[in-house]
């Protein structure tokens, strides 16, 4: 009898899905956040429910909105539960039980990064919450949300995604607990984890579940991570898999931790990457090879979906994170720079995929029809704005090189021409209703110097709002090498060319260089050298990047182990008071930092920088 009832329920479910797809409910103005909104759309039961730690903003820069729109476009009805109160059950029951699965994300940012400063102090606000109110999401939100869902809906599959899940998919060092934690998939009662940009994966999961497949049978989708029983793993054989040191091994041996990082780092390519397996105490975590990047028409189609670029009307207060990106454009994905402190290699990958000029023009034309558009396109870019349309022929057949980094030194195989981006920016300037088109996401200056075109003149003339962001990060060659950043002469050559062009144009525009303190390898003497450089070149800024060890970056591996995973050589790691001194040296003018700066100069034997001279960092009291 139970089998008959089960078969009947399955038949009804499939018929219902086909009925929904046959009528293809149009994309709503906003994805429903309540059953009342769903019923107004003619929906009794939602196919998929997204749980997010962010407020719901219907903008392509917000991951939950993007995935929700993509799923809806694929024929599935989707609802969003935003910032649920994890101490209560009602919020998680708000939309009922989905037909296929819950999708869980902490939001656009790792919940621990979002809540704590680099000094481990709780932030007072949260730009992804209404009115900027803080503490509306729990620590380790993905695990907490998954636990609650599983307790309420134990038979419903749970799919993890977003930055927090993506970058915690292997055993990883967690700065906030100062421990090595297990894969998030080992800690959360979830069935599968989507890593990277997840459109392909999430739609494939939804389609296969809609056809009646069991979630535990979905084990080989590229761009997903699964968990498997240890006995089953041992029986199946490991041919074609890269076995990396286990959780127990990396937790107790820093050299093995570095080795494990390097092994899975090398497999983060959709063409050449192989599945990676890591043993945990009760399960085996298996990462399939990364998903292929979306093709140009696919990327165009996603960003042409009907995003309102507004927060859900249920909010009475504005969402601060929307303001700086509301009228910005994503032109491409991926970054081939492989900076050590950035985890993009493990998330978006090194292969750059760009949208077509026509699609971006269409998106801006739609923006001009919005009532609050003032003619300013805030940004056109991606992880690095001027990588738009850049390509390497090796990517198509072999993937990104595993034995070298594209920009360190700059590879000759790489096409670093800016002609396509210049054409894009010109086309956008010509759109009726557009007054200015800015590049707000920063540029890679070594790529500018490698190109003989007039790109820098073009952006200085038309696309800078008085200042341009660049990120040299440091001026000591040894440190920039560890960071995989260009050395000081490259930055100085770019700065010189920037000044010359602006003088020729008769414009008063400035570079805003970003520098970092406390990065692995950096000593107090290195920071004093940087502070002197800042003083000599009048580059002082109140904004300081203090290195934060975020999950799955090479720099975090170095911070925890004291070993560079690429060379296996030891590196100096500043912690505690020394790390605070390094940060203070970048803000030497701030009186609150006087004691730390004084101690740092004394420790380095640089008391010549204490006094009233022009070259002194602080005065002598």
pLDDT, tens digit (0-9, with 9 covering 90-100), for 103-119: 999 999 999 999 999 88
Over residues 471-477, the mean pLDDT reads 96
pLDDT of residue 90 exceeding 90: yes
Under 8 Å CB-to-CB from 518, ≥6 apart: which residues? Answer: 118, 546, 547, 574, 579, 582, 583
Rounded to whole angstroms, the maximal C-alpha distance in the chain is 91
Instruction: Specify the pLDDT at position 210.
Output: 97
| Alpha carbon separation from 578 to 37, 121, 526, 584 (Å, rounded) | 54, 18, 12, 10
Smallest CA-to-CA distance from 416 within 385, 389, 379, 456 is with: 389
DSSP assignment of 548-615 equals ---TT-HHHHHHHHSB-TTT--B-----HHHHHHHHHHHTTT-GGGHHHHHHHHHHTT-GGGBSSSTT
Over residues 208-218, the mean pLDDT reads 97
Q: Which one of 3.30.300.30, 3.10.310.30, 3.30.750.200, 3.30.830.10 gives the CATH number of domain 466-621? A: 3.30.750.200
pLDDT of residue 99 exceeding 60: yes
pLDDT of residue 57 exceeding 80: yes
Q: Do domains 2-227 and 466-621 have the same CATH topology?
A: no
pLDDT of residue 17 exceeding 50: no
Instruction: Specify the pLDDT at position 238.
Output: 84
Instruction: Specify the pLDDT at position 434.
Output: 98
Helix (H, G, I), strand (E, B) or coil at 49: strand
CA 549 – CA 222 distance, rounded (Å): 28
Instruction: Specify the pLDDT at position 515.
Output: 96
Looking at every residue in the chain, the average pLDDT score rounds to: 94
**Where is pLDDT greater, at 543 or 538?**
538
CA 364 – CA 375 distance, rounded (Å): 10
| Alpha carbon separation from 352 to 249, 296, 425 (Å, rounded) | 35, 11, 18
β partners of residue 467:
510
Over residues 518-535, the mean pLDDT reads 97
| Alpha carbon separation from 417 to 10, 321, 542 (Å, rounded) | 55, 32, 34
pLDDT band at residue 543 under the 50/70/90 scheme: confident
Over residues 460-485, the mean pLDDT reads 95
Over residues 441-468, the mean pLDDT reads 93
| Alpha carbon separation from 142 to 54, 63, 98 (Å, rounded) | 12, 14, 18
pLDDT band at residue 15 under the 50/70/90 scheme: very low
Q: What is the pLDDT of residues 371-386, one digit of tens each?
A: 999 999 999 999 999 9
CA 328 – CA 340 distance, rounded (Å): 27
Instruction: Specify the pLDDT at position 22.
Output: 39
Identify the CATH homologous superfamily for domain 2-227.
Answer: Cobalamin-binding domain (3.40.50.280)
Going from N- to C-terminal start, the domains of the chain cover 2-227, 466-621
Q: What is the pLDDT of residues 296-353, one digit of tens each?
A: 999 999 999 999 999 999 999 999 999 999 999 999 999 999 999 999 999 999 999 9
Contact 216, 191 (CB under 8 A): yes
The secondary structure element, H or E, covering residue 20 is helix 2-23
β partners of residue 50:
80, 103
Q: What is the pLDDT of residues 238-270, one digit of tens each?
A: 889 999 999 999 999 999 999 999 999 999 999
pLDDT of residue 77 exceeding 90: yes
Instruction: Specify the pLDDT at position 18.
Output: 44
Smallest CA-to-CA distance from 427 within 458, 464, 399, 402 is with: 458
CA 23 – CA 225 distance, rounded (Å): 33
Q: What percent of the chain lies above the pLDDT cut of 90?
A: 91
Contact 311, 57 (CB under 8 A): yes
pLDDT of residue 20 exceeding 80: no
Contact 241, 274 (CB under 8 A): yes
Residue 442, Cβ neighbours under 10 Å: how many? 18
Contact 445, 493 (CB under 8 A): no
CA 562 – CA 522 distance, rounded (Å): 12
Q: What percent of the chain lies above the pLDDT cut of 70?
A: 96
Instruction: Specify the pLDDT at position 581.
Output: 98
Reduce the secondary structure of 507-541 to three states and give it as a string.
CCCEEEEEEEECCCCCCHHHHHHHHHHHHHCCCCC
Judge residue 379's burial from the number of C-beta atoms within 10 Å of its C-beta, 0-12 exposed, 13-18 middle, 19 or more buried.
buried
CA angle 333, 339, 340 (to 5 degrees): 130
pLDDT of residue 5 exceeding 90: no
Instruction: Specify the pLDDT at position 452.
Output: 81
SS3 content of the chain, % helix, strand, coil (to 5): 40, 15, 45
Over residues 435-460, the mean pLDDT reads 93
């Amino acid at each position: 009898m139970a089998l008959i009832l089960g078969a009947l329920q399955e038949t009804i479910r499939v018929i219902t899905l086909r009925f929904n797809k046959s009528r293809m409910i149009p994309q709503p103005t906003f994805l429903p956040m309540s059953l009342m909104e769903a019923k107004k759309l003619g929906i009794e039961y939602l196919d998929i429910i997204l749980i997010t730690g962010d407020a719901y903003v219907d903008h392509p820069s917000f991951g939950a909105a993007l995935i929700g729109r993509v799923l809806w476009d694929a024929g599935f009805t989707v609802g969003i539960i935003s910032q649920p109160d994890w101490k209560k059950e009602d919020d998680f029951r708000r939309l009922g039980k989905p037909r296929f699965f819950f999708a869980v994300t902490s939001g656009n940012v790792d919940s621990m990064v979002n809540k704590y400063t680099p000094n481990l102090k709780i932030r007072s606000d949260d730009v992804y919450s209404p009115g900027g109110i803080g503490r509306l999401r729990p620590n380790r939100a993905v695990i907490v949300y998954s636990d609650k869902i599983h307790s309420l809906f134990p038979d419903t599959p749970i799919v993890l995604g977003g930055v927090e899940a993506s970058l915690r998919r292997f055993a990883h060092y967690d700065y906030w607990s100062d421990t090595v934690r297990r894969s998030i998939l080992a800690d959360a009662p979830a069935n599968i984890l989507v890593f990277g940009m997840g459109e392909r994966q999430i739609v494939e999961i939804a389609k296969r579940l809609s056809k009646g497949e069991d979630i535990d049978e979905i084990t080989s989708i590229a761009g997903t991570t699964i968990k498997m029983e240890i006995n089953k793993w041992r029986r199946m054989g490991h041919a074609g898999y890269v076995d990396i040191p286990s959780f127990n091994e990396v937790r107790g041996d820093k050299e093995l931790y570095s080795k494990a990082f390097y092994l899975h780092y090398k497999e983060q390519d959709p063409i050449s990457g192989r599945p990676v397996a890591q043993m945990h105490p009760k399960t085996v975590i298996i990462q399939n090879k990364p998903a292929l990047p979306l093709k140009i028409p696919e990327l165009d189609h996603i960003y042409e979906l009907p995003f309102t670029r507004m927060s859900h009307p249920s909010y009475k207060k504005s969402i601060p994170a929307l303001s700086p990106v509301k009228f910005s454009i994503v032109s491409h994905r991926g970054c081939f720079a492989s900076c050590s402190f950035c985890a993009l290699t493990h998330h978006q990958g090194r292969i750059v995929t760009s949208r077509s000029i026509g699609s971006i023009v269409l998106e801006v034309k739609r923006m001009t029809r919005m009532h609050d558009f003032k003619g300013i396109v805030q940004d056109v870019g991606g992880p690095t704005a001027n990588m738009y349309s850049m390509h390497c022929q090796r990517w198509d057949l072999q993937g990104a090189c595993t034995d070298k980094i594209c920009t360190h030194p700059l590879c000759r195989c790489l096409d670093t021409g800016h002609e396509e981006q210049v054409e894009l920016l010109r086309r956008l300037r010509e759109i009726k209703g557009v007054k200015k088109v800015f590049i707000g996401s920063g540029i890679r200056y070594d790529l500018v110097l490698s190109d003989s075109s007039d790109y820098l003149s073009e952006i200085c003339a038309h696309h800078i709002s008085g200042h341009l962001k660049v990120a040299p990060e440091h001026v000591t060659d040894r440190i920039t090498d560890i960071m995989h950043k260009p050395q000081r002469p490259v930055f100085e050559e770019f700065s010189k060319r920037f000044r010359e062009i602006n003088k020729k144009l008769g414009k008063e525009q400035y570079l805003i260089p970003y520098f970092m303190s406390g990065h692995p390898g950096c000593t107090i003497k290195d920071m004093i050298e940087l502070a002197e450089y800042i003083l000599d070149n009048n580059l002082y800024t109140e904004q300081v990047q203090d290195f934060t060890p975020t999950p799955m970056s090479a720099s975090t591996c170095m911070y925890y182990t004291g070993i560079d995973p690429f060379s296996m050589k030891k590196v100096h790691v500043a912690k505690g008071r020394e790390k605070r001194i390094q940060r203070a040296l970048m803000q030497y003018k701030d009186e609150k930092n006087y004691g730390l700066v004084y101690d740092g100069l004394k420790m380095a034997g640089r008391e010549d920088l204490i006094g009233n001279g022009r070259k002194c960092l602080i005065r002598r009291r």
